[in-house]
Structure formats: C-alpha cells, structure tokens
Amino acid sequence: MTTRSDGRALDELRDVTITRGWLDHAEGSVLVSFGRTRVLVAASVTEGVPRWRKGSGLGWVTAEYAMLPRATHDRSQRESVKGKLGGRTHEISRLVGRSLRAVVDHQALGENTIMVDCDVLQADGGTRTAAITGAYVAMADAVSWLRERNLLDGEPLTDSVSAVSVGLVGGTPMLDLCYTEDSSADTDMNIVMSGDGRFIEVQGTAEQEPFDRSLLNDLLDLGEVGCSRLTEMQKQVLAEPKQ
C-alpha cells in the first residue's frame, strides 16, 4: 500500500481551516490554511464598476493573487521591487477571478465591485486552490455586507465554489498535493468545482510524461471527492455567525 510523506491516505485532504473575519477593515476576510499553506483573503467592496461596465447594471468580481517574499523556502524577490508581475502571478489571479465569477449573478450584484485579494503568507503547495476555496467564503461575507446595507438587486451567489489539486506522484494519483509531492509530480491538475458538483475549471499539465484518458479520469474522480468535502466545510463555516 502506498503511503504519503505525511501519512495521509491518497484521497485525503490536508487539515483545512477557514477563519472568517481575520481583518478588521475588509468587508469579507478569511485566513485559510491547507496544511502549512496559509492564504490571507480580503474581499473589498466598492460601489460602482470599472469604466467599461458602467451603466450596464451589472456588477464585477475580480481577484489579485500574490505571495509574500518569504512565503517560500527560499526568499523570492518582490514583484513590486522588480517592477512587474510574473507570468505565474498573472495566471493565478486570472484563474481566481474567473472561478469566482462562475458562481456570481452580476445582475443581482448590481453595479458594485468585489475585489478579492489573496496573499499567500506561507506556501506549501496548493496555494491557488486554497486561495479559491477561501475566496468564496470571503466573497460570501462581502455579499452579506452588501445585503445588510440593501445594496443588492437579488441573490448574487448562484452556488459556492471550491478548488483542489490532484496529481500523479510516483505513478499514483493523489489528492491535495503538498509542496514535496507537487514538485515531484508527473502530472499536476487543478480542479475548480461548483457546489453542485460541476466543473468550473479543469487544468491538467503533464510535467514529465503525457497522460492517457484513463489516468485523466482517475484524477477527475479524486478532484470530485476533494471539492465535495471542501464544499461541505465552506457550508459549515458560513453557517456560523461571523465573529
């Protein structure tokens, strides 16, 4: 039987915690951890929408993802000091934004903008999936903030969204890879799903060998298991009163 470096079963998530209201100023905020990966998510509400959307009656949700320089084992240079965003940062920011928008009814949101900042305080694999999973909760709190102020035209959230990574490590499909697993994976896949169990994003990459259809199916199965558990946790945490 295959054992993982941290003793988890192949289809087992790491310890996941989602702490709401971690920040005092943000309309919604969450400190989310997937094992040692820790992401601080702040959802900021502003009235109005970007210029290109004005007068449409539609709201807007967008996201920015970044990493603190010492989130990683070796310190990386600040992108603000370099003066430009790296490709990875761009790519993940766009992924988080798209994932959130997939469960938003922009009509019901009205001309309001929710900007979701995901800042990785510590990275141990799966930062983008932790960010998406936490971002949904922070967005939900930001939506509540809007609702309490009667600023909505209906229910803007059509479903929840969660995300998890799966991968092929040493020939074995595994759920929710930590950094050590991720860096030795042959195939790496990020799966973003809605609360009702459908796919929002599927991004699979062969790091070494191309993968066949049967392996792809195994990985999708694992992803469905993981997202379904995360959906459950999101429901529980949102059922509690915000501190």
Instruction: Extract the annotated binding site.
Output: 88, 126-128
We find the least distance from the C-beta atom of residue 98 to a copy of itself, in angstroms, to be 6
Tokens (6 digits) for 87: 């490709």
Q: Are 166 and 225 in contact (CB under 8 A)?
A: no
Nearest to 70 by CA among 121, 128, 127: 121
User: How many other CB atoms sit within 10 Å of the CB of residue 206?
Assistant: 14
- Asked if 40 interacts with a copy of itself (CB under 8 A), we say yes
Identify the H or E element spanning 241: none
Residue 23, classified by CB atoms within 10 Å of its CB into exposed (0-12), middle (13-18) or buried (19+), is middle
Distance CA 194, CA 44 (A): 22
How would you classify the pairing of strands 199-206 and 60-67?
unpaired
Query: Of 2-10, 146-154, 216-224, 229-237, which segment contacts a copy of itself by CB under 8 A?
Result: 216-224
Helix (H) or strand (E) holding 191: strand 185-194
DSSP 242: P
- Which residues in the 101-130 window bind a copy of itself by CB under 8 A? 102, 115, 117, 119, 121-122, 124
When the beta carbons of 85 and 108 are compared against a copy of itself, the nearer one is: 85
Number of amino acids touching a copy of itself (CB under 8 A):
66
**206 beta partners:** 187
Among 30, 42, 142, 146, binds a copy of itself (CB under 8 A): 42
**Minimum distance of a copy of itself from residue 200's CB (angstroms):** 5
To 5 degrees, how large is the angle CA 43–CA 117–CA 93?
Answer: 130
SS3 237: helix
**Residues annotated in a binding site for phosphate:** 88, 126-128
Stretch that binds a copy of itself, among 1-9, 11-19, 75-83, 139-147 (CB under 8 A): 75-83
Tokens 């915690």 belong to 17
- The reply on whether position 196 binds a copy of itself by CB under 8 A is yes
Q: Which of 7, 154, 213, 243 binds a copy of itself (CB under 8 A)?
A: 213
Q: Which of 23, 108, 151, 238 binds a copy of itself (CB under 8 A)?
A: 23
Residue 44 binds a copy of itself (CB under 8 A)? yes
Binding site for a copy of itself (CB under 8 A): 23-26, 29, 36, 40, 42, 44, 46, 64, 66, 68-73, 75, 78-91, 93-94, 98, 102, 115, 117, 119, 121-122, 124, 159, 189, 193-194, 196-206, 209-213, 216, 220, 224
